């Protein structure tokens, strides 16, 4: 990675503004149900505190759309951070303004302050220059450790870098390193697995990965468009008719690299308890819908994965939220857990599926940013990364 990190600058005694991704799920009582995003930033926070920095954390939570929403305050995050860091994390009532400035002014080395939800201000998403300047005025140095928001040019991800020296945190460094090496210098054979609902969501990824991979496995709802391109009927399955010609073109260009399911699990309704059965891809009944890959497909895909040395996975193989249709996704996750290959899970639903299967600790790297990792795999620049100082 050619970007500076917290290791490359002096932080002792400095006020360090850290952009984290604390967009964690909350239950109806306002309790955090999954703290992985908080845990992920701990190495950076612990390092900064050990070096004697004054740590000022900022993040968004949910979609308050520029207004204060009580249920989206960061109080639960401050509480959990206090527990994990074994120190009091002071939460401010806003993220800019005189009251915030007073709290920051009395900070001592090693102290941690968490600013209130950035998106309570519409100026955050608008990347308003004055808002960014007010955030930056709180600190001497800026550290971005929020890969999950790096694909957005917001005030706290891009705007502040015009006013402060800007470097990456350890999580950001890890994300860029693993994804970057997979795309530029993979140990071969290099296999990509793409799933999820729509081909349109992954067009850029497919186009960028095809020249780089040795095999591209396609599953999930997006495979239906390829089935249609092959002349198969897909019943009542999710289908993007306007992308069939694109699928035909991809099949022509990369027939030797593309691996599609050969059998599928179909159901008579989109429901967890729907009647279902396994059929070949060319025998999908009318009015039934494809909700998972079948056992022959699993066997075919695992055979490919056993030979792989690098695997990138983005998107589930079926409707994994329903246990009856999670079999294919879990089988792929299990195969990756058992391989000796470098395994990179591209965040979002893929990360959730691996977590659900209890296999997270057996993957080489699980990205914390679904949208960001997807754009990275497309070969796009990420504003939050591009804005950081080069080494």
- Give the residue numbers annotated as catalytic, written as ranges: 37, 198, 348, 371
In terms of DSSP H, where are the helices of the chain?
36-40, 42-50, 75-85, 98-105, 122-125, 129-136, 170-184, 203-209, 223-229, 244-253, 295-307, 327-338, 348-356, 370-377, 383-386
Number of helical (H) and strand (E) elements in the chain, helices listed first: 15, 15
Q: What gap in Å lies between CA 282 and CA 267, rounded to an integer? A: 15
Q: What gap in Å lies between CA 380 and CA 63, rounded to an integer? A: 25
Q: What gap in Å lies between CA 196 and CA 221, rounded to an integer? A: 6
Q: Are 328 and 292 in contact (CB under 8 A)?
A: yes
Structure tokens, 320 = 């994994």
Structure tokens, 143 = 């550290």
Q: Are 285 and 266 in contact (CB under 8 A)?
A: yes
**Is the bond preceding 283 in cis, omega lying within 30 degrees of 0?**
no
């Amino acid at each position: 990675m050619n970007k500076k990190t917290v290791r490359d600058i002096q932080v002792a005694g400095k006020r360090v503004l850290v952009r984290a991704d604390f967009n964690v799920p909350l239950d109806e009582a306002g309790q955090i149900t999954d703290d992985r995003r908080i845990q992920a930033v701990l190495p950076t926070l612990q390092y900064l505190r050990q070096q004697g920095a004054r740590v000022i954390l900022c993040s968004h939570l949910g979609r308050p759309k520029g207004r204060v929403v009580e249920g989206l305050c960061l109080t639960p995050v401050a509480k959990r951070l206090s527990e994990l860091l074994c120190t009091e994390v002071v939460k401010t009532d806003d993220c800019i303004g005189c009251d915030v400035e007073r709290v920051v002014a009395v900070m001592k080395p090693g102290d941690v302050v968490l600013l209130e939800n950035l998106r309570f201000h519409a100026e955050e998403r608008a990347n308003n220059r004055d808002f960014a300047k007010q955030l930056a005025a709180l600190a001497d140095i800026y550290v971005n450790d929020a890969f999950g928001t790096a694909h957005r040019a917001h005030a706290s991800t891009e705007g502040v870098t015009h006013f402060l020296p800007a470097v990456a945190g350890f999580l950001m460094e890890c994300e860029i390193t693993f994804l970057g090496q997979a795309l530029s210098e993979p140990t071969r054979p290099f296999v990509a697995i793409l799933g999820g609902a729509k081909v349109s969501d992954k067009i850029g990824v497919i186009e960028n990965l095809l020249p780089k991979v040795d095999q591209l496995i396609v599953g999930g709802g997006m495979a239906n468009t390829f089935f249609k391109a092959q002349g198969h009927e897909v019943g009542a399955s999710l289908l993007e008719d306007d992308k069939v010609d694109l699928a035909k073109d991809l099949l022509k260009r990369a027939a030797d690299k593309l691996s599609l399911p050969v059998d599928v699990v179909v159901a008579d309704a989109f429901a967890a308890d729907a009647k279902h059965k396994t059929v070949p891809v060319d025998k999908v009944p009318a009015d039934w819908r494809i909700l998972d890959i079948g056992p022959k497909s699993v066997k075919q895909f695992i055979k490919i994965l056993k030979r792989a040395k690098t695997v990138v996975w983005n998107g589930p193989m079926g409707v994994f939220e329903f246990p009856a249709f999670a079999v294919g996704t879990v089988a792929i996750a299990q195969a990756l857990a058992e391989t000796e290959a470098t395994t990179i899970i591209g965040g979002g639903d893929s990360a959730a599926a691996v977590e659900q299967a209890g296999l997270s600790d057996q993957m080489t790297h699980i990205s914390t940013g679904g949208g960001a990792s997807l754009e990275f795999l497309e070969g796009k620049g990420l504003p939050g990364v591009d804005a950081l100082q080069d080494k």
